[in-house]
Amino acid sequence: MQTLCSLRAPESANDERFDSLARLARRHFGVMAALVTTGAEDRQRVRTCDGLTFSNTARIGRFGDPWGCADAVLVVPDAHCDERFRDHDLVVSAPHVRFYAGYPLLALGGGVLGMLCLLHDQPRELDAAQQAVLKELAQLAANMLAREEADANLQWELDALRQSERRMALAIAGSGTGIWDRNVATGEIHYSTGWKAMLGYADNEVGNHIEESYTRVHPADLEYVKATIQAHFEQRTEAYEVEHRLRCRNGSYKWVCSRGKVVERDGAGQPLRMIGTTTDITAMRVMSEQVQQTAELMTNLTNEIPGMVFQYRRLPDGRSFFTYASAGSRDIYGLTPEQLAGSAEALQAIIHPDDLPLYLASLDASASGLTPWHLEYRVQLPARGTSWRQGDACPRRLEDGSVLWHGFITDVTERKQIEAELQVFATTDFLTQLSNRRHFMQQLEAELARVQRSAGHCATILMFDLDHFKAINDRWGHSVGDQALRHFAAILCTQLRKTDAAGRMGGEEFAVVLSDADIDEAMTFARRIQGELAEAPVLHGDERIPLATSVGIVAINPNDASAESALSRSDMALYRAKRGGRNRIECY
């Protein structure tokens, strides 16, 4: 059975250079976690992980042997169905890995630099398009590693140059840099051996006249090169520096950077001698193009993701602004990235006034504690009304004391609407649209807490029961009975204040809690309800169906152990009213 090799991951923060890539991969594929590792086989190191703690990634490792699949996506759709992995502890226990996909980070010269991995706790597949995106993201990571290696090599070379003049000369000879010395007056130019070798020439294959030198310059670059030299001759620039192409001995062209300076002039200021260097920058140009392509890919990816990817900075003096916003800002905020980059005021102007203080306070708290920012808030967009947004970002403090957030804003309006609908379903009686028993009891508990907390605050409970309701159902049917219940609920609602609450307790029983009202006020309320019922019977065709109600009233006592105990007393009062002949009001 194949095993999961452990990653020797330190208990430390992610490698920030790869953080955005991992977050992008995780959100694009909608998986539990995405991570980038570097190193070979059992010496892998986690460079970044999004979605799991390092204590988990230290055990995750890899499935199979990705070092044996040079250019293929390794996909395990469901580890439970794969005999190689279904008994592994990471499958049967936390984090319960069910799905795995990985692609090696391939070096330009061959070999594997590491892996880009996707993990999920549910089975799934990757189609061809998704596999192609995974490959592209892995290549981005590989390019970043290649640039890292190139930078390290360059730094090593610069350190070596400082050791001695002899070692400097050796380094120049082997680093693709050549030296030239031009006699401006005679038109002669002499090149070092390294300069000639850089273009593939032997010492005796390059002439020493400037006109021959110009024949090696790419025709498209020649006028620019000459103009730059002339500007320095005329002392309009401190030095001569230009990037251009030179033809090699085999006919191909290399990109070079030529730098030079006039070191001797005559009495009239005319140039006599100029010394300079030519450096092969072909590899750097290729790398620059790759970086540009990578940047374009990242920009395209962030622009295609629903929502807005952003970078937000707050300076020590309190000023703040977006240093980056993806094209999704138009959908999220109705503003262009340029408008957001101007200042924070443009955004604050569209945040709902009731939510703006919370929005600002949440950013303050995130900045002061360097804690992740998470907030759901409303925005008001022209012609689109009020919408809900959810923001998530991670802050870090910069050397100058400012705070920089990297994050993501999504539109959660539909989810919030669903939540509101579910809240209504969970708290409302479908037939009467009053609070159901469970929600009414919560409101009653809150009112009891106010009575117990505030001296002098009073409240009363009224329990209503429609008299002879069974007879209505038996004679006219349940549909007319439902109509009677809705009719009574509507009358209750017309008499309620904003501070009061009403609920259907079951069948034909209803309860009302009157906040800041004593027994006398409750009696008046009950009589109004009975009067409204008497004046407004239920209409069924040509028939007028009279309704009457018995009422039990009780004052909420601060010593009540619970809302149920107060409600039970109102039930007793109601029972006395019905036993006393119905259509009566009794107080406990």
This prediction's pTM: 0.41
Average pLDDT, the chain: 86
Is 579 found in the same domain as 442?
A: yes
Taking a C-beta distance cutoff of 8 angstroms, is the pair 426, 435 a contact?
no
- The number of CA neighbours under 13 Å toward the Cβ of 179 is 11
CATH number at residue 532: 3.30.70.270
Within a domain: residue 321? no
Number of domains within the chain: 4
CATH number at residue 52: 3.30.450.40
Is 578 found in the same domain as 461?
A: yes
CATH number at residue 236: 3.30.450.20
The residue from 254, 285, 316 where one domain ends is 285
Within a domain: residue 342? yes
Is 583 found in the same domain as 450?
A: yes
Is 148 found in the same domain as 177?
A: no
Please say if the pLDDT value at position 500 is more than 90.
yes
Within a domain: residue 141? yes
Q: pLDDT tens digits, residue range 265-312? A: 999 999 999 999 998 888 877 777 776 766 666 665 555 567 888 889
Euclidean distance between CA atoms 270 and 233, whole angstroms = 7
Please say if the pLDDT value at position 160 is more than 80.
no
Q: pLDDT category, 78, cuts 50, 70, 90?
A: very high
Within a domain: residue 422? no
The burial class, CB within 10 Å (0-12 / 13-18 / 19+), for 572 is middle
Q: pLDDT tens digits, residue range 182-235? A: 999 999 999 988 899 889 999 899 999 999 999 999 999 999 999 999 999 999
Strand partners for 375: 391
The residue from 154, 182, 204 where one domain ends is 154
Give the CA angle between residues 504, 509, 514 to the nearest 5°: 65
Residue 424 structure tokens: 């209504």
Residue 96 structure tokens: 């319960």
Within a domain: residue 53? yes
The burial class, CB within 10 Å (0-12 / 13-18 / 19+), for 182 is buried
Is 146 found in the same domain as 171?
A: no
Range of the domain at 443: 428-587
Within a domain: residue 502? yes
**Rounded mean pLDDT of 455-461?**
91
Within a domain: residue 358? yes
Is 40 found in the same domain as 100?
A: yes
Please say if the pLDDT value at position 10 is more than 50.
no
Q: pLDDT tens digits, residue range 521-532? A: 999 999 999 999
Is 206 found in the same domain as 138?
A: no
Helix or strand run (H / E) with residue 314: strand 308-314
* DSSP 8-class letter at 390: E
The residue from 154, 175, 207 where one domain ends is 154
| Three-state DSSP class for residue 147 | helix
Is 554 found in the same domain as 410?
A: no
Is 437 found in the same domain as 391?
A: no
Euclidean distance between CA atoms 3 and 90, whole angstroms = 11
Instruction: List the catalytic residues.
Output: 508
Is 578 found in the same domain as 455?
A: yes
**Residue for token digits 């916003």?**
325
| CA-only gyration radius of the chain, Å | 39
Please say if the pLDDT value at position 64 is more than 50.
no
Within a domain: residue 345? yes
Residue 509 structure tokens: 């029983």
List of long-range contacts for 225-231, beta carbons under 8 Å, 24+ apart: 225/258
Helix or strand run (H / E) with residue 253: strand 253-265
Euclidean distance between CA atoms 89 and 85, whole angstroms = 9
Q: What residue type is 514 in one-letter code?
A: L
CB contact set of 534 (below 8 Å; sequence gap of 6+): 546, 548
Q: pLDDT tens digits, residue range 391-434? A: 999 999 999 999 999 988 988 888 888 888 888 888 899 899 99
Is 55 found in the same domain as 128?
A: yes
Residue 577 structure tokens: 């009213």
Euclidean distance between CA atoms 291 and 187, whole angstroms = 40
Is 111 found in the same domain as 187?
A: no
Euclidean distance between CA atoms 216 and 323, whole angstroms = 44
